[in-house]
Structure 1
Amino acid sequence: MPESRSIWLRRERSGRGPTPEHGRDRIAAAAIDLADAGGLDAVSTRRVAAAIGAGATSLYRYVRSRDELLELMLDTATGELDLTAPVTGDWRGDLLVLAHDLRAVYRRHPWLLDLAQGQAPLTPRSVAFLEYALAILRDVQAPGGAKMEAIALATGLVAQLTRLEVAAGRSSADWQAAQVEYLTAIVAEGRHPNLSAAIAAPGGAGDGEDVLDRVLPRVVAGVLGIA
């Protein structure tokens, strides 16, 4: 019987003979160290093999391709999320806690943002993340498909906001403060009445609140059809 295409459905292999064993966890850790230092372009099977003291060819006993290596990295990094906190019943609050935790992981490993875009592969720990997020939304009266879409949009929003922060080299709060300062000066000239009215409305300038805290619950509520 041919082996599964998915690395997660194949039995983990070990070294043979005098060759020391190189488990998936050790391989993923070495690859993450390379990516943290130089981005995804710094990750190759040859470099990872060298980092763990293995031959490049022998690494293929554990991962068949660079794509599988990236899957291991994604799974290991996702494992940094705290999925042990009890669900309180306040889905907005619980989801924000999870979102901030996810943003912290993205900040520690900016290369994850590249893996998160497009069709990111499912891994054991990403499935655990999905299960936990669905537990947060368990009591929300909405179809299961809508909940899955809401979680996808929420994680996408976290990734996008973090990407902007990483690119700008500062937090979204700092960026927002700079934009508010500029807009305040502009509307004071009196040539943008609609913009002035929007900023003058409650919350129009953000009131210093984290963009993630303000926007994410609204996006998720909209997808779930909650007023």
Structure 2
Amino acid sequence: MTEKPRSIWLRSERSGRGPVPEYGRTQIASAAIEIADESGLEAVSTRKVAARIGASATSLYRYVSSRDELLELMLDTSCATLDLTAPLIGDWRRDLIELAEQLRGLYRRHRWLLDLAQGQPSLTPNVVLLMERALAAMAPLDVPGGTKLEAFAIMNGIVASVTRLEISSGQSNQAWQKAQVEFLASAVSDGEHPHLSAAFASPAVEGDADMLHRVLPRVLAGVLGID
């Protein structure tokens, strides 16, 4: 007996025998994405997705065998909205920053993706296209492929972290931020934390105020060993 492929992407749209599939993976993923956008990733279940598309929970297992596969479908469908076909500029820093900006926009539109980014990454068709785009941007660099893949993973991690920080530091957290600044100012005023005091007294960073634009190129240059 032939073993069923472990990856959903190596199987047909609907497993088993029977009529032509009544639902498609994109339809199932879109319903799950709607639920996640409304109520968070924890709210996503096979039962709720089935109800959203007017199917039974049992019938949905003909298309996805587990919740993990459902999450893969959601990730892939979300990444399909990225524009990965425009011509590259030819400057690896600018090309990766442009890609990072697209990722940040994707994380902002679907905040539950930040939770997926914390776990073990899944490879889906559109994630593979995303990786190919990043590697194409780094193609002119004489750097081992494994190092380039590490750079891509680090880039994604930085984008996710920066986006999460931007979201958490919204208007609702202004009082909390003010309290932290006031406490830090008090803590460094006693003279017992000279290095922290010097850092706190330093002028603001000049140039681009966007943290992603400031930090990402320097980190990637270090990972890739580029001056």
Please classify the TM superposition score into its range, dividing by the shorter chain length. 0.7 to 0.9
User: Could you tell me which residue of structure 1 aligns to residue 167 of structure 2?
Assistant: 166
User: Judging changes above 3 Å, is the alpha-carbon distance between structure 1 residues 226 and 200 closer, same or farther for their aligned structure 2 residues?
Assistant: farther
* One-letter code aligned to 1:49: A
Q: Aligned residue for 1:222?
A: 222
Other-structure match for 1:54: 55
Contact 1:187–1:195 (8 Å) recurs in 2: no
Is the 1:75–1:123 Cα contact (8 Å) retained in structure 2? yes
Q: Which runs of no fewer than 5 residues in structure 2 stay unpaired? A: none
Could you tell me how far apart the structure 1 residues matched to 2:64 and 2:218 are?
Answer: 41
Return the TM-score normalized by structure 2.
0.85
Query: Which residue does the alignment assign to 1:155?
Result: 156
Three-state SS of the structure 2 residue aligned to 1:61 is: coil
Partners of 1:20 and 1:169 in 2: how far apart? 44
The yes-or-no answer on 1:73 pairing with 2:74 is yes
Structure 1's unaligned 5+ residue stretches are: none
What is the TM-score normalised by the length of structure 1?
0.85
- The Cα RMSD (Å) is 3.0
Distance, in Å, in 2 between the alignment partners of 1:67 and 1:111 is 14
4+ residue runs over 3 A deviation: 14-17, 181-201
Larger displacement relative to structure 2 (46-55 or 159-168): 159-168
Q: Which residue of 2 aligns with 1:118?
A: 119
1:31 aligns with 2:32: yes
Alignment match, 2:11: 10
| TM-fit CA distance, 1:27 | 0.2
Q: Which amino acid in 2 is paired with 1:130?
A: M
Give, in angstroms, the shift of residue 189 of structure 1: 6.3
Structure 1 residue 193 displacement after superposition: 5.6
CA distance in 2, matches of 1:30, 1:119: 23
Q: Does residue 212 in structure 1 map to residue 183 in structure 2?
A: no
Shift of 1:127: 0.5
8 Å Cα contact 2:30/2:74 also seen in 1: yes
- Which residue of 2 is the match for residue 144 of structure 1? 145
Task: State the one-letter code of the partner of 1:217.
Answer: P
Q: What is the Cα deviation at residue 169 of structure 1? A: 2.5
In the aligned structure 2, how far is the partner of 1:85 from the partner of 1:205? Answer: 35
| Aligned positions of 1:99-114 closer than 5 A | 99-114=100-115
Aligned partners of 2:217 and 2:183: how far apart in 1?
25
Aligned length: 221
Quote the offset at 1:120 in angstroms: 1.2
Cα distance, 1:2 vs. partner? 2.1
Q: Cα deviation per residue 1:64-108 (whole Å; 9 max; x = unaligned)?
A: 111100000011111111101211211111111110110010001
- Do the aligned residues in 2 keep the contact of 1:36 with 1:109 (CA within 8 Å)? yes
Relative to structure 1, the CA distance from residue 20 to residue 223 in structure 2 (aligned partners, 3 Å threshold; closer, same or farther) is closer
Percent sequence identity over matched residues?
Answer: 59
| Inter-CA distance 178–210: structure 2 relative to 1 (3 Å threshold) | farther
- Cα distance in 2 for residues equivalent to 1:54 and 1:36: 21
Rounded Cα–Cα distance in structure 2 between residues aligned with 1:100 and 1:190: 41
